[in-house]
Amino acid sequence: MSREVSYSPQTLEAAHLLGQRIRLARRERRWTMRELAERVGVSVPTMRKIERGDPSVRLGLAFEAATLTGVPLFDADPSRLSLERARVEDRLAVLPRLVRKPTEVDNDF
């Protein structure tokens, strides 16, 4: 049983923009949708969803399509991506692994 997910307008806009960039890059390379779908390892209907910016498509598939077509995901320089990842990992290392809601303490004696 699947449940319907509601996405924020910003999420929908970002997914749409990524799909449009992938479509543009594919056309600039003169690849058919079938060719890109084969390279990504998906069906043509799934490739259509990626290019439409359908947020229900797995994130890894959209990222793979972007990478294969040369669409930058975060920074065009791969070394910057590694540096940013290391910076985030360093910040995560100093934070607690689990996040708990603060509990109300009754100090009324």
Is residue 105 included in any domain, yes or no? no
Q: State pLDDT tens for residues 33-53.
A: 999 999 999 999 999 999 999
Do the Cβ atoms of 26 and 36 come closer than 8 Å? yes
More confident residue, 5 or 77: 5
Residues in the chain: 109
Is residue 63 included in any domain, yes or no? yes
Is residue 56 included in any domain, yes or no? yes
Domain range spanning residue 60?
9-72
Q: What is the dihedral of CA 56, 62, 63, 65, to 10 degrees?
A: 170
Q: In this prediction, what percent of the chain has a pLDDT beyond 90?
A: 61
Packing angle of the helix pair 44-52, 9-28 (nearest 10 deg): 120
Verdict on whether the full-model pTM lies above 0.75: yes
Provide the CATH number for the domain around residue 48. 1.10.260.40
Range 52-59 average pLDDT: 95
3-state DSSP helix/strand/coil percent for the chain, to nearest 5?
Answer: 60, 0, 40
